[in-house]
Amino acid sequence: MFYREAGQFKTSYEADQALFPIRQDRIGLAVILLIAFVGIPLTANDFVLTSIMIPFLVFSLSAIGLNILTGFAGQLSLGTGAFMGVGAYAAYKLTSLFPDVNVIVMVLCSGFFSAAIGAVFGLPSLRIKGLYLAVTTLAAQFFLEWCFIRIPWLYNYNASGAIEIPSRDMFGILVTGPEATPLTRYFIVLAITSVIALLMANVLRGRIGRSWMMIRDMDIAAELMGIRPLQTKLLAFAVSSFICGVAGAMMVFFWLSAAEPSSYSIKLSFQILFMVILGGLGSLSGAFMGAAFIWILPVVLKFVPGMLGFDIEAATVEHLTFMIVGALIIFFLIVEPHGFARLWQIGKQKLRVWPFPY
Amino acid sequence: MNAIVSNLAQPVGQPKTAERDLLLRVDNVSLSFGGVKAITNISFDIQKGEIRAIIGPNGAGKTSMLNVINGFYHPQEGTITWRGEVRRKMKPYEAASQGIARTFQNVALFKGMTTLDNIMSGRSLKMHRNFLWQMAWFGPARQEEIEHRRKVEDIIDFLEIQAIRKTPVGKLPYGLQKRVELGRALAMEPELLLLDEPMAGMNLEEKEDMSRFIVDVNQEFGTTIALIEHDMGVVMDLSDRVVVLDYGKKIADGPPEEVQASQAVIDAYLGVSH
Amino acid sequence: EDTNYVPLLTYRTGAYAGSGIHIANGMHDYLAMLNERDGGIGGVKIAIEECETGYDAQKGVECYESTKGKNALVYNPYSTGITLQLIPKASVDKIPMLSMGYGLSAAAVGNTFPWIFNVPDTYWDGASVAIKYIAEQEGGLEKLKGKKIGYIFLDAGYGREPIPLLEQLSTKYGFELVQYPVPGKEMQNQSSQWLNIRRDRPDYMVMWGWGAMTPTAVKEAVKTRFPMDKLIGVWWSAGDEDAAAGGEAAKGYKAMNFSGVGSDFAALGDIKKLVIDAGKSQTDPSSFASTLYNRGVLNSVIIAEAIRNAQEKTGKKVLTGEDMRIGLESLDLTADRLAEIGLADFAHPMKVTCEDHAGGNPVFIQEWDGKQWQKASDWIEPMTDVVRPLLEAAAKEYAEKNAPWPARTEACPN
Amino acid sequence: MLYDIFIGPFVQMVEMPDFFLQVLWEGFVAGILYALIALGFVLIFKASGVFNFAQGIMVVFAGLTLVGFYESGVPALLALLLTIGVMGALAYGIERFVMRPLVNQPDIILLMATIGLTYFLIGLGEFVFGGEPKRMIAEELGLPTGSTAIEMGERGLVILQHIDIAAAVIAILMVTALGIFFNKTRIGRALRAVADDHQAALSVGISLNQIWAIVWFAAGLVALATGIMWGARSDVSFALEIVAFKALPVLILGGFTSIPGAIIGGLIIGFGEKIGEIYWGGLVGGGIESWLAYIIALIFLLFRPQGLFGERIIERV
Amino acid sequence: MQTQEMTRTKAPAGAGDAILSVNNIEVIYDHVILVLKGVSLTIPRGGIVALLGANGAGKTTTLKAISNLLGAERGEVTKGKIVFKGDEVQALSPNDLVRKGCIQVMEGRHCFGHLSIEENLLTGAYTRKDGAAAIKADLEMVYNYFPRLRERRQSQAGYTSGGEQQMCAIGRALMSRPEMILLDEPSMGLAPQLVEEIFEIVKQLNEREGVSFLLAEQNTNVALRYATYGYILEAGRIVLDGDAKALRDNEDVKEFYLGVGGEGRKSFRNVKHYKRRKRWLA
Ligand SMILES: Nc1ncnc2c1ncn2[C@@H]1O[C@H](COP(=O)(O)OP(=O)(O)OP(=O)(O)O)[C@@H](O)[C@H]1O
Ligand SMILES: Nc1ncnc2c1ncn2[C@@H]1O[C@H](COP(=O)(O)OP(=O)(O)OP(=O)(O)O)[C@@H](O)[C@H]1O
Ligand SMILES: [Mg+2]
Ligand SMILES: [Mg+2]
């Protein structure tokens, strides 16, 4: 009975189509935003900001990106890492070519490059489907990774082959580079992620979002209803890659501050895919939940033995972390294949009928 | 409801034979898959505003015929004339944009979406706000969304599925899924509505409901309907003309009573006369 | 209780664990031995904490962030990728970073990189030694003209680092340099590279391998019947398992080294007795005193000596990162001192200065005799004259690319 | 430039025939080894529609177990038997704790579960066996280790490793055996039925539990064979897991469900990759092997979306 | 009330010798959606029992609960018990149940799309151990029942027409030589002639081989003609049961399920919209 919707009547379609039609959800969101914008900055230390919150937000954003492609448009992609890399390298090149332009503008612009590349690799999706499509995205992954290594122009001919982010400021405050405070970087990442998430929430509940889901759920029927499959899929590839690109650029600009090609390897692709699936395919809030689980859990697990007073070797902790994360992934898939988002919904459903079991 | 009245509505009960009233004509169409001849040299036509039934035994080629009409299959031979224009190799989405909508034999709803979204998806072709507007939401995009939502709500009312508006369709019972599918096709405001066994798996009461919807759609909005159905009661009561296929060939074509009496049809399809 | 906190970024998991485990053991065991035997350094125990990176840059940064708050004295990332990411961070956080014989070569320029140390050598020193050694075999640098030298390397920051120097030397001495990159994913699948090598028939091969890449390369070299005595690995390709993968047939494989071979050192005896036999380490006794293990020991020796030095210089017992930097920057590890700590001849004496954080110390060549590594040459000096200007230029370029790069503010300790 | 692309490589092939033969041989061997991994994937895919991502780590795991037993003093052949036992237990465990609860779930969920399994096995493997690479006990198992050099012309030499020949023989034997198993037995038909529709398979009385335990065990055996062969070439280490990615293009090329497809796909990729890398790779800086296989597969796919031997993707309304 | 009375007084024929009895089962999907709220059925050995009811009443769910296929849909039986041939079967796996002689023809065909029609039929014989010849003979029998299938035997099932798939699904179940068949909407999508034929087959099998049937059907008319006993399910509860004949004569059933209300059969064209209220729910 805690989660009670009764008595909340929608009197207009506007109200019914709001993002969060139910009051409890709106309150919940407000609380989360309050924590994110006020609570965390006031309480968190540098470690929490740089090693937990910033990566968490970056991953959430890329999970949103992948979710659009895989969760909403139904095109399985294993190339997320590389698309993020395109964003990172594009942003890096842009900032070194136009050193005076605001980095944030550059980070956002980098998305267009990854969008273009994503669309190119999306072309075969017209003919190739499902797991078979995974191979084209894998081709993208490995080919782009190879480009990051083999085209020295991309990393300004650095001997190390890595990109290193120079310090840049905005309105007199350092926003990138080692001297930028974690808090500044946190706020930027938070702002970009929330704005993009909001914009995407809008797109997804409208015509375009629906057309993606139509393609996902039954492409033949969608086509017979007037959806042009190629255009729709390419748009999904482009939008998804755009977001992943921005996330990739943020990853190196506001988090790692230097990146090698291996930072954008297939491992990253899988990490993001995990987040999307565990969070719930086709759910924006799921992207956040999945990112939290996959990124934060291992970090936290590392500290558990120490806190409990066990003296376990770092490597053993790592092994155990692997096992636990693997087992939990399977566990959660079994509990709810549709991810945390669905789990949350069912939880709400239970709250609704509480204290009765159903 | 009037909102979705097609502007091409035809007064009912007028003679339906004039050539200018011809909506679609199929001429000598043949279709085969590898060795299987699904359709052999079939011709028939559909008049504006009529309910045209296609019947025949299982595997006769009825579904394939619909697939040919809306461009999902491309016949090896023959032509299709749509509103006086001969068309070839049309893409399915082009057929949709020309006003052909359909439902499917094996329900082909978008399983991950709610009833509302499924029906809204039928309006895709009528919505035009671009990506940027959609991102911003407030303003034109929302306006458009609400405008179409109104029409969709009309359809929901019409089909009496208000209660399941927000339910994901995957979990609905079969009969309701078929109804939602009809709603989705109606949302396209089609000129020609192709129904593939809309009443399979329904009990009598639901068949009655469904019949009522079909008749209403036909009469009130003048939508032309091509209907595949195995329940002879329904076919006989609803249709204006019936074409009968067997093994990919046309064996009869005409008003229901005539067809029902034809010996060829009885042998091939009906078995004992009904 | 006061301690000096030394985090060790190690990897005992992942694709590079094969090399990483020995390093980690060596580093850990020496420091643990000091705690056992001497009660730490200067009477203050060393708090040793390993953080597992899995050779992964993201996790490396995470380790750094999670430990730096505990007053970390120095970082040893053991991955060029992690080093690159930490260079700017460490410089801002004022914690020295010791990348012993790896990382960014340009970091040797202390004026630009006051917080980064790469004694005893940079990769460029190493590459120059390899070329010098080849020249010695051929009978002089001028004999290099017209020779073909292949360079097979792990295609990552690590393996690409020496290329600029090798190219420079190739133009200077007129030999042809042929590159054979091995993608990280294909480490264990090098048949293409070795087929190419077979076709190109280089006179010598220089190898920058790490983890599973090295043993695979050695095996492939044996398979394609490349003359093993013409294959020279960097000091990170000098592991015992690396060569053992080729077995008897790998006889003649050479690798550079700058840390002691074997267990005949008093300090190692102490480690064995006080740490390993006492069950205070993860070291598998059979891998004790292997090349990479000893490398890890040397790493800890430098840390320990820097701590001692810093304690002397600052008069404090419990140090901070900044104190540690002073200790590192005025480190002078003489032969006498090495003997004093029970490691006579374990390494070449090394001295760090404000200008030179690497030292360009000589290295020697060891050779696999089919069962064991044997020392096969004397100490060979790198071509400092070629390397140093390149280092200066690279440092300058780095600072420019990363402008505004903070100028050195730390006074030289002496 | 044009010469380098269109003429040079062919001139080289003709001028150095021994080398060309060697390249072909290496391509053949690589192909066989890829095929071995792909075979493991095909088995499970065919029998459950699951894309088993964990095949790569199973290879490592099998290899490590074998070497682990040997190192702890068990004679080689006994170690082999024990390892087979362990793979059986693993198969049972996977069936019981991963597959059974996930019956009838969409492909992607099952794919994810196998990735979760991969994580788990990596952790477990490193926990039990440690992270160091281990030497494969090929000799002790009675596999040939030497090499034969065939002289050709004056300086020409083609070197054949005996272990590679053994790998080819084993692969061909396994493919034949599995091919017969799938096509000629009632279980084979049941496997394909399961892959199509879990629920319907249940409804006609096919025991998914039994079937899955069988195929995972078979995949475990294939993994063991793969582990021995790959391990003998390099070493048994966790880095090997990555090689499994190579199986993907092979699989896609051959078709997910075809056993001969795995072999033929493997060979196409093996030859294509080696020839591409050796004769053309240098033009763009080398290392193209890391993606060439995918591009080859992609090109084939554009013409046959279901792979060379895959079952037609059914599209019907 | 008349209907209630009927439920109480008339037990299904031969209840003492029930091949299958379902006692007061409850089914929940996803841990929260309660679908069956206490359903009890008895199928006598050699009987044909029809399970009728509107869309979403829970017919399919009941059948799946019996054949233990709910697990695959995240549903579970939370209460009650199911007894088949004297043993409780809730804990058995579906294949054990098939071995025991109870097979289900699933709603919506569920043919194995990539297998040919013939292979589909052969999977039906998976659990049989009585040799290739017997299986071959049965294959012939199925082909004789459905000549259309013989024509399409080599086609991939995924490409055959809806009706062909339906025949294939039924034929597949027959191949297992069951003692009890749970038929879920067998007539769906079949031509009228075939519908009759299928029910004739049901009758033949029942009479000649003593196979028992539980039919979930929408086509009440035919179903009640062939069945001996019927249950009517509404919203997860049995609201009415009785001999087929008694049900056929029941006024409510006539009106709502057979379409022959007071004034005979109405034309589909002229049905008027009115809010139906089932009397037994009142
Ligand atoms: N894509 C295809 N490939 C191969 N054969 C096909 C294909 N589509 C249809 N067929 C075959 O063509 C014939 C006609 O099929 P169709 O689906 O049109 O029949 P139908 O009249 O709709 O039958 P039903 O009433 O059973 O649905 C069938 O025998 C079917 O097997
Ligand atoms: N997997 C599921 N998860 C949740 N609810 C379900 C699921 N399957 C069925 N239901 C619900 O259970 C109820 C009963 O469904 P069921 O399929 O048993 O009905 P039915 O009587 O067979 O209907 P029909 O005549 O349409 O086949 C329906 O309301 C349906 O929405
Ligand atoms: Mg049909
Ligand atoms: Mg049903």
What count of residues does chain A have? 358
Contact A258 C85 (CB under 8 A): yes
CB of E59 shorter than 6 A to ligand 2: yes
Q: How far apart are the first and last CA of chain A?
A: 12
Centre of ligand 4 from the C-alpha of residue B174, in Å: 7
Q: How far is CA D105 from the centre of its chain?
A: 25
Contact D301 A323 (CB under 8 A): no
Same domain, B138 and B176: yes
Residue D109 belongs to a domain: yes
Same domain, B122 and B95: no
E2-52 pLDDT, tens digit each = 444 344 334 444 445 889 999 999 999 888 888 999 999 999 999 999 998
The arithmetic mean of pLDDT across residues A104-133, rounded, is 90
Domain total in chain D: 1
Centre of ligand 2 from the C-alpha of residue E216, in Å: 13
Q: How far is CA D12 from the centre of its chain?
A: 31
Residue D310 belongs to a domain: no
Q: Is there a cis peptide before residue C120, judged by omega within 30 degrees of 0? A: yes
Domain total in chain A: 1
CATH code for position A298: 1.10.3470
Q: What is the pLDDT of residue A3?
A: 55
Domains of chain E and any CATH numbers: 1-101+182-191+206-282 (3.40.50.300)
Q: Which residues of chain C have pLDDT under 70?
A: 1, 414
CATH code for position D239: 1.10.3470
Report d(CA A216, CA A68) in Å as an integer: 11
Please identify, among B189, B208, B230, the residue that sits at the C-terminal boundary of a domain. B189
Contact B111 A226 (CB under 8 A): no
- Closest C-alpha among C9, A324, A295 to residue D122: A324
B30-45 pLDDT, tens digit each = 999 887 888 999 999 9
Residue D317 belongs to a domain: no
Residue D240 belongs to a domain: yes
**Average pLDDT over chain D, rounded to an integer:** 85
Please identify, among B189, B204, B224, the residue that sits at the C-terminal boundary of a domain. B189
From chain A, the residues in CB contact with D291 under 8 A are 139, 142-143, 145-146
CATH code for position B176: 3.40.50.300
Q: What is the pLDDT of residue A1?
A: 43
Report d(CA A132, CA A144) in Å as an integer: 19
Cβ C165 vs Cβ D271: under 8 Å? no
Residue A328's contacts (CB-CB under 8 Å, 6 or more residues apart) are A293, A297, D116
Q: What residue owns the CA closest to ligand 2's atom 13?
A: E56
Strand pairing of A163-164 and A258-259?
antiparallel
User: A 77-116 residues with CB below 8 A of D?
Assistant: none
Q: Which residues pair with C4 in a beta bridge?
A: C46
Domain total in chain B: 2
Same domain, B81 and B203: yes
Q: What is the pLDDT of residue C227?
A: 93
Model confidence at E276: pLDDT above 80: no
pTM: 0.89
Q: What is the pLDDT of residue C297?
A: 94
The arithmetic mean of pLDDT across residues D228-247, rounded, is 79
A221-279 pLDDT, tens digit each = 899 888 999 999 999 999 999 999 999 999 999 988 888 888 898 889 988 998 998 89
DSSP H helical ranges for chain B = 62-69, 92-97, 115-121, 131-136, 140-159, 174-187, 204-221, 232-238, 256-261, 263-265
Same domain, B80 and B147: no
List all residues whose CB is within 6 A of at least one atom of ligand 1.
B 33, 36, 38, 56, 58-64, 105; D 316; E 155, 159-164, 189
Residue A98 belongs to a domain: yes
Nearest CA in chain E to B57: E191
Model confidence at A350: pLDDT above 50: yes
Residue A16 belongs to a domain: no
Please identify, among B189, B215, B234, the residue that sits at the C-terminal boundary of a domain. B189
Contact A143 D291 (CB under 8 A): yes
Contact E52 B33 (CB under 8 A): no
Interaxial angle between packed helices B204-221 and B140-159, expressed in degrees from 0 to 180 and rounded to the nearest 10? 130
Q: What is the pLDDT of residue B240?
A: 92
Q: Helix (H, G, I), strand (E, B), or coil: what is residue E84?
A: strand
Cβ D175 vs Cβ D262: under 8 Å? yes
ipTM over 0.85: yes
Report d(CA D114, CA D226) in Å as an integer: 19
Residue A11 belongs to a domain: no
Task: List Cβ<8 Å contacts ≥24 apart for A23-29.
Answer: none
Same domain, B22 and B149: no
Contact A315 C157 (CB under 8 A): no
Q: Which residues of chain B have pLDDT under 50?
A: 1-17, 273-274
Any CB–CB contact under 8 A between D317 and chain B? yes
Centre of ligand 1 from the C-alpha of residue B32, in Å: 10
Q: What is the pLDDT of residue A5?
A: 60
Tokens in use for C393?
């230029």
pLDDT interval class at A25 (50, 70, 90): confident
Q: How far is CA C7 from the centre of its chain?
A: 18
- Closest C-alpha among B51, B44, B26, B49 to residue B252: B44
The arithmetic mean of pLDDT across residues E220-245, rounded, is 89
pLDDT interval class at E273 (50, 70, 90): low
Same domain, B19 and B149: no
Question: What subunits touch chain E, counting only 3 or more CB pairs under 8 A?
Answer: A, B, D
Domain residue limits at B75: 1-99+190-274
A287-300 pLDDT, tens digit each = 999 999 989 888 88
The nearest CA of chain B is from the CA of D316 a distance in Å of 9
pLDDT interval class at D151 (50, 70, 90): confident
Report d(CA C259, CA C252) in Å as an integer: 20
Q: What is the pLDDT of residue B7?
A: 38
The arithmetic mean of pLDDT across residues A192-217, rounded, is 92
Nearest CA in chain D to E64: D203
Q: What is the pLDDT of residue A135?
A: 77
The residue with tokens 């030298």 is C149
**Listed range (D8-12, D149-153, E37-41) with the worst mean pLDDT:** D149-153
Q: What is the pLDDT of residue B129?
A: 80
Choice from B164, B171, B178, B181 to test ligand 2 binding pocket (greatest atom count within 8 A of CB) = B171
Same domain, B209 and B85: yes
